[in-house]
């Protein structure tokens, strides 16, 4: 109630604050937003039919004036709120109440853009991309442009996305690009397992990203860490680094639980994945690269995976095709090194490891320890197929290929935790 009263008192203050605080960038707000508005205050109608694009745009434009004065929350109450793409703003929370569902209108290129100090959270409200129409057009080869991503974060820092559900994205779901300090917590992502390119979360040329307690069912990689494509990524040269993934649950029958690449030309470094579960998923932590991609994938730490029904527990690919055009530099070779896996339990597995580096550019420094793979009844006779890779192992069953056969120690995992975002997420109810 206090916040509501403050909101009315301060409605005019925001405009003044804009002048006073324009350009000011403070610390991540530890608490809750000072100004609170409902999307209905801007004329929105939650009947699932009325277009609310103008209402969201008006709300965000007005509330952006509160950035320097304690920030603002835009509450989306229970109901179905149809809208085209809209942008978020700084020092801003989009709060989806219980039973709230934002429905993406079926206009081209649905995306939400944001920049600084934003939160998208709530009581498990939903953002529904209504992707079926885009999947159909994609399959029919009717699209001359890329399908939109559901939530696009660009050049943003201090972002929290928590307790929301993303459903049926036209393409990738969450795409933080050129961002720092991103926390994604308690997020559910659901798409049919045969929907095209519905990656769950794709941190792209971003650093200090924490993904925890998320549940993802999708038609593509549950998480895919990326950093640019071939000569364009090499030139832009912005790695994805310091990425933490904890307590992920993934279902993705034709893709990876966590993919590193294939776009990795700006480099991927210091990825830490732990305590996660995959069910009916093609592979665990997969590294995808190839000649022409350049860049690097290094210092990857994985521990505590529980995997059920997998095609390949370990999968590295050195000939991942797909180049943006013909001007990729064939001399640009990726450097893949320092990949540590420990405490991996898997069952109902077709093949333990498909480990394929690049001729004259081997993937090195691979370490596996304490790995127990139980095979499916129809498992392959050949359990490990290794080419152009080099590493060590200890306590791995079934017995790894000679390339990984040298006796190793338990594979290390960094002792010190990375500090990403606030240690306690703000608990706000609006
Ligand atoms: C969002 O902001 C970007 C960058 O300023 C702009 O290009 C785009 O048109 C905006 N989109 C909408 C839907 O307002
Ligand atoms: C959030 O909503 C989704 C979709 O309705 C549901 O599957 C999930 O269990 C919910 N999560 C929580 C924590 O309530
Ligand atoms: C998210 O939901 C969980 C479970 O209901 C709750 O414990 C937690 O406080 C919520 N987090 C935020 C940031 O609202
Ligand atoms: C790329 O090269 C292939 C084979 O040489 C050729 O068929 C194709 O037209 C080229 N594409 C472009 C965009 O130049
Ligand atoms: C084992 O995996 C196969 C697919 O390879 C699947 O059909 C079967 O249901 C799985 N069994 C169990 C017990 O999960
Ligand atoms: C092993 O991997 C290599 C390189 O990818 C491939 O050419 C070969 O066919 C594979 N062998 C088997 C038996 O699958
Ligand atoms: C992986 O663990 C091994 C064995 O403890 C260690 O020698 C190696 O340095 C670790 N890799 C990285 C990238 O830290
Ligand atoms: C990230 O957030 C933490 C905690 O809020 C803060 O201490 C740190 O300076 C931030 N780092 C960056 C790079 O923004």
Give residue-wise pLDDT tens across range 300-321: 999 999 999 999 999 999 999 8
pLDDT at 118 (0 to 100): 61
Query: Which residue's structure tokens are 């209905």?
Result: 40
Q: From CA 416, how far away is CA 272, in angstroms rounded? A: 11
pLDDT above 70 coverage of the chain, percent: 90
Burial of 427 (0-12, 13-18, 19+ CB in 10 A): exposed
- Ligand 4 site, residue 326, Cβ cutoff 6 A: yes
Region 323-346: what's the mean pLDDT? Answer: 96
pLDDT at 5 (0 to 100): 30
Other C-beta atoms lying within 10 Å of the C-beta of residue 380: 16
Instruction: Give the distance (Å) from ligand 8 centre to CA of residue 181.
Output: 6
Q: From CA 249, how far away is CA 381, in angstroms rounded? A: 29
| CA–CA distances in Å: residue 150 to residues 126, 181, 223 | 12, 20, 15
Nearest ligand 6 atom to the CA of 382 is 13
pLDDT for 381 beyond 90: yes
Taking CA atoms only, the protein residue closest to ligand 1 atom 4 is: 113
Q: From CA 396, how far away is CA 237, in angstroms rounded? A: 37
pLDDT above 90 coverage of the chain, percent: 82
Catalytic residues: 220
Region 33-40: what's the mean pLDDT? Answer: 95
Give the tokens for residue 260.
């590193």
Q: From CA 340, how far away is CA 410, in angstroms rounded? A: 9
Burial of 92 (0-12, 13-18, 19+ CB in 10 A): buried
Give the tokens for residue 347.
């069952």
pLDDT for 76 beyond 60: yes
pLDDT for 48 beyond 70: yes
Region 366-375: what's the mean pLDDT? Answer: 98
Q: From CA 430, how far away is CA 428, in angstroms rounded? A: 6
Q: Element (H or E) spanning 373, and its range?
A: strand 363-375
Mutation to probe ligand 6, out of 387, 388, 389, 403 (largest number of atoms < 8 A from CB): 387
pLDDT for 9 beyond 70: no
Mutation to probe ligand 5, out of 251, 277, 375, 376 (largest number of atoms < 8 A from CB): 376
Q: From CA 338, how far away is CA 9, in angstroms rounded? A: 57
What average pLDDT does the chain have?
90
pLDDT at 242 (0 to 100): 98
For residue 421, which ligand has an atom nearest its CA? 8
Instruction: Give the distance (Å) from ligand 7 centre to CA of residue 291.
Output: 26
pLDDT at 12 (0 to 100): 39
Q: Which of 23-37, 125-139, 238-252 has the lowest mean pLDDT?
A: 23-37
Give the tokens for residue 406.
């040298």
Instruction: Give the distance (Å) from ligand 5 centre to CA of residue 376.
Output: 7
pLDDT at 144 (0 to 100): 80
pLDDT at 23 (0 to 100): 25
pLDDT for 110 beyond 60: no
pLDDT at 236 (0 to 100): 97
pLDDT for 26 beyond 50: no
Taking CA atoms only, the protein residue closest to ligand 6 atom 14 is: 385
Q: Which of 4-8, 38-42, 70-74, 426-430 has the lowest mean pLDDT?
A: 4-8
Nearest ligand 4 atom to the CA of 326 is 1
């Amino acid at each position: 109630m206090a916040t509501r009263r403050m909101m009315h008192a301060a409605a005019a203050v925001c405009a003044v604050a804009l002048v006073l605080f324009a350009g000011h960038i403070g610390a991540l707000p530890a608490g809750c937003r000072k100004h609170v508005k409902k999307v209905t205050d801007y004329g929105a109608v939650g009947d699932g039919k009325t277009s609310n694009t103008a209402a969201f745009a008006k709300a965000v434009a007005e509330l952006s004036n509160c950035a320097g004065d304690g920030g603002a929350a835009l509450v989306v109450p229970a109901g179905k709120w149809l809208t085209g793409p809209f942008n978020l703003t700084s020092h801003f929370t989009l709060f989806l109440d219980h039973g709230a569902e934002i429905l993406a209108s079926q206009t081209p290129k649905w995306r939400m853009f944001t920049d600084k100090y934003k939160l998208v959270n709530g009581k498990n409200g939903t953002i529904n991309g209504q992707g079926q129409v885009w999947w159909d057009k994609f399959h029919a080869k009717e699209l001359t442009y890329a399908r939109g991503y559901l939530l696009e974060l660009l050049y943003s820092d201090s972002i929290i996305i928590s307790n929301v559900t993303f459903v049926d994205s036209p393409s990738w779901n969450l795409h933080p690009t050129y961002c720092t300090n991103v926390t994604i917590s308690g997020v559910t992502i659901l798409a049919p397992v045969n929907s095209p390119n519905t990656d769950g979360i794709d941190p792209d040329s971003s650093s200090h990203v924490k993904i925890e307690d998320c549940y993802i069912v999708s038609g593509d990689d549950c998480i895919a860490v990326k950093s640019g494509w071939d000569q364009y990524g090499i030139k832009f040269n912005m790695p994805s680094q310091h990425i933490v993934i904890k307590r992920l649950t993934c279902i993705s029958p034709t893709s990876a639980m966590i993919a590193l690449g294939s776009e990795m030309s700006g480099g991927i470094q210091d990825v830490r994945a732990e305590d996660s579960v995959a069910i009916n998923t093609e592979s665990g932590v997969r590294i995808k690269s190839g000649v022409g991609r350049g860049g690097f994938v290094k210092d990857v730490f994985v521990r505590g995976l529980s995997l059920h029904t997998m095609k390949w527990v370990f999968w590295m690919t050195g000939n991942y095709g797909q180049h943006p055009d013909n001007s990729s530099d064939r001399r640009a070779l990726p450097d893949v090194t320092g990949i540590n896996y420990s405490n991996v339990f898997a069952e109902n597995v077709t093949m333990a490891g498909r480990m394929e580096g690049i001729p004259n550019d081997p993937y090195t420094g691979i370490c596996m320890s304490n790995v127990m793979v139980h095979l499916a009844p129809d498992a392959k006779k050949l359990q490990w197929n290794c080419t152009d890779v080099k590493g060590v192992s200890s306590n791995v069953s079934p017995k790894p290929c000679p390339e990984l056969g040298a006796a190793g120690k338990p594979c290390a995992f960094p002792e010190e935790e990375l500090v990403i975002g606030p240690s306690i997420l703000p608990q706000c109810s609006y």
